[in-house]
Each structure stands twice: as C-alpha cells, then as structure tokens.
Amino acid sequence: MNYLRLKKKKDFSKLLRTGKRAHAATLTVVYLPSKQVKMAVCVGKKYGKSVRRNAIKRLLREAFRAEADRLTVPCSFLLIPKVADAYSYAEFRRDVGKIFRRENLIETSCT
C-alpha cells in the first residue's frame, strides 16, 4: 500500500494535540482519522547514533507498510518506538498489527 509521509510541523502539532494514543510493548502509535493514509516516525537522539536511528526507522516503516494493506479507516499515524537495547522487525510488525486490531482500524476475520 502506498502512503504519504507527514512532513509539516502543523500536521505533527495537530496529530500530537488531538490524536488518539495507543501503546504496545515496543512502540506508541498516535493516530487521527484523515482523508488519506499518512505516516511519520519519530526517533530522537536518545535512541543512539544516526546509524541506529535510521535502522529503527527502516524497521518501523516496513512493519507499518506490511500491516497498512489491511487498513479500513484512513488515518494519519505517528510511530514512536520505546527505548530498548535491541529492536526487531517481528516485534514491531506484531505490535503494529495488535494496535490496529485493538483500535478497530483493520477488519478482523473470524474464521
């Protein structure tokens, strides 16, 4: 699924001020319904040097992309990882899917 990136400060401010927050073991997701699916990742300097921060961002973007195909409600998302010693794609994907299901943003199949 293609999604747009959040880039403007006013978009970030609106999302942080009025968006809903959902927490999981490895990350926090702030979301707000919108016309199109938009996403941003927030990884500050407390997560390590630039190589590590960029690796975390790549993992989060890929986990979001894998789960975003099943979205039924277009929203703007801000993904904020929790500080940890190690990060893995499997954990991020599991937690993104868990949050999407818990917040009723994707259809759950009951088979």
Q: What is the CATH number of the domain that holds 59?
A: 3.30.230.10
**Cα–Cα distance, 32 to 21 (Å, whole number):** 9
- The dihedrals phi and psi of 22, each to the nearest 5 degrees, come to -130, 135
65: domain range? 4-102
The answer to the question of residue 16 being in a domain is yes
- Mean pLDDT, all residues of the chain: 92
Tell me what percent of the chain is helix, strand and coil, each rounded to the nearest 5. Answer: 40, 25, 35
Q: What is the pLDDT of residues 13-58, one digit of tens each?
A: 999 999 999 999 999 999 999 999 999 999 999 999 999 999 999 9
82 within domain boundaries: yes
Is 107 part of any domain? no
With a pLDDT cut of 90, the percent of the chain lying above it is 85
pTM: 0.90
Task: Classify residue 111: in a domain, yes or no.
Answer: no
Q: How many domains does the chain have?
A: 1
